[in-house]
Amino acid sequence: MRQAYAHPVLIDDLRKLLSLADHERITDAAAALRTSQPSLSRLLARVEQELGTRLFERDAKGVHPNPYGEMVLAAARDITDRYDLLRRELADLLDPESGTVRLAFLDSMATSLVPRILHDFRRAAPRVRVALRQEPGHEMLHDLATGTAELAITSPRPAGEHGWLPLQRQRLTLVVPRGHRLAARRQVRLDDIADEDFVTVPAGFGFRTQVDELFRAAGVVPRVAFEIGDLATIEGLVGSGLGVALLPEQFAGASNTVGVPATAPGAERVVGLTWRTDRALAPAAARFLAFVRQAGSFD
């Protein structure tokens, strides 16, 4: 059996076949393509050999596609049109003035930091589109690795080949229901809540790792009653009297809760912008990073 496509037909080859069909003479097509007549003849012979059939009939008036040739030309028009469309769409996406930035961010940043950054960036680059993904930090790292996201607003700083631009430092506070025995305190130690039901995010979340390390340093094993991935929901559960929580201070007070500063060393969350350093950012994403870097802190 003949081995097909030993020398694959290229996009440029298809364009030359279409030009040959339009001009109907190898001489005229060669002149239009700025190539030699022998080169074009060899191209046609090679394509016919690779496809296993004669495509053009030759006579005194020139060359004319036969039914097989018409089928190939129809496919050639479709392929080259699709390729040209792909090039145009990619150019639009990669244009730093009108391209697309693929940005992932933490759920807890959805109503604060992210809207502020996007509002300011849109004023500076109104034609750039930002495609958003709201997800936990461990999912962001997977998306950055696969290219699904180019940039991510996350915490804590990821290990490995990731750039890091700090954006906010958030003090962690003990969130308790109003009327709780610790609600009137000016500050608390983590061992003050050793016997309390504790509400937090599930294991595997970056914030859970940080909270566990703070308790471990204090010699405390929290009594986890509920786990949920959304910090605002955690605050709501605390407000309903279902336990206490350690959260960034901006989450305290939304639903019948009080925030009490925690004295534990390192009781803060640093939120930053991260990206892969083992590959170049697309122009629009690089522009977004440059804008955020120039804007500085978003505290």
| Strand partners of residue 245 | 175
Higher pLDDT, 88 or 160: 160
Which range has the top average pLDDT, 22-36, 76-90, 105-119? Answer: 105-119
Tell whether pTM > 0.75.
Answer: no
Render pLDDT for 98-139 as a digit per residue (tens, 0 to 9). Answer: 888 999 999 888 888 999 999 999 999 999 999 999 998 889
The answer to whether residue 1 scores a pLDDT higher than 60 is no
Domains along the chain with CATH numbers: 11-94 (1.10.10.10), 100-166+272-295 (3.40.190.10), 168-270 (3.40.190.10)
Quote the CA–CA distance of 258 and 48 in Å, as a whole number.
79
Residue 93's pLDDT band (boundaries 50, 70, 90)? confident
What SS3 string covers the chain?
Answer: CCCCCCCCCCHHHHHHHHHHHHHCCHHHHHHHHCCCHHHHHHHHHHHHHHHCCCCEEEECCEEEECHHHHHHHHHHHHHHHHHHHHHHHHHHHHCCCCCEEEEEECHHHCCCHHHHHHHHHHHHCCCCEEEEEECCHHHHHHHHHHCCCCEEEECCCCCCCEEEEEEEEEEEEEEEECCCCCCCCCCECHHHHCCCEEEECCCCCHHHHHHHHHHHHCCCCCEEEEECCCHHHHHHHHHCCCCEEEEEHHHCCCCCEEEEEECCCCCEEEEEEEEECCCCCCHHHHHHHHHHHHHCCCC
Q: How confident is the model at residue 297 (pLDDT cuts 50, 70, 90)?
A: low
| pLDDT confidence bin for 298, thresholds 50/70/90 | low
pLDDT at 99: 85
Mean pLDDT of 9-38: 86
Report the distance separating Cα 206 and Cα 136, nearest Å: 8
Q: Please name which of 93, 104, 130 lies closest in space to residue 274, comparing C-alpha atoms.
A: 104
Q: What is the pLDDT of residues 159-212, one digit of tens each?
A: 999 999 999 999 999 999 999 999 999 999 999 999 999 999 999 888 999 999
Using the predicted structure, report yes or no on whether residue 153 has a pLDDT greater than 80: yes
pLDDT of residue 9: 63
